[in-house]
Amino acid sequence: MKALDNITLQINDLAISTIFDYVESIEVGGEIETNKNEIIDFMANQDLTYFKQIKEVVEKNIETWAMPGEQVVCSACKKNNNIRIGMDTSDFFGLG
């Protein structure tokens, strides 16, 4: 069970780190912070509401800037597919 807890924490940390890869800076009380680690530390001490708001903005931006799907037909089987080309390197081995 301890191993599962450890894996869950690692996944959570990775998710948080990934979200904050999209945050360029935060401004609090007129001071601007651009250091990713400082931003993550600051957010760790804030209400969960702030993190949810940031996550929503990041997800909206990703969707807004996503390339539209493209209809393609397989030349071998003639099946229609909607392929979405993404700039996220984690999509490299995924299906369209």
pLDDT by residue (tens digit) across 24-78? 888 888 999 999 888 888 888 888 888 888 888 888 888 888 888 889 899 999 9
pLDDT at 43: 83
Other CB atoms within 10 Å distance of the CB of residue 20: 19
Tell me, yes or no, whether 79 lies in a domain. Answer: no
Domains of the chain: total: 1
Tell me, yes or no, whether 22 lies in a domain. Answer: yes
pLDDT at 96: 44
Distances (CA, A) of 79 to 41, 85, 95, 96: 49, 18, 15, 14
Q: Is the pLDDT of residue 23 over 90?
A: no
Q: Is the pLDDT of residue 86 over 90?
A: no
Tell me, yes or no, whether 73 lies in a domain. Answer: no
One-letter amino acid at 53 equals: Q
Boundaries of domain holding 15: 2-66
Q: Is the pLDDT of residue 93 over 60?
A: no
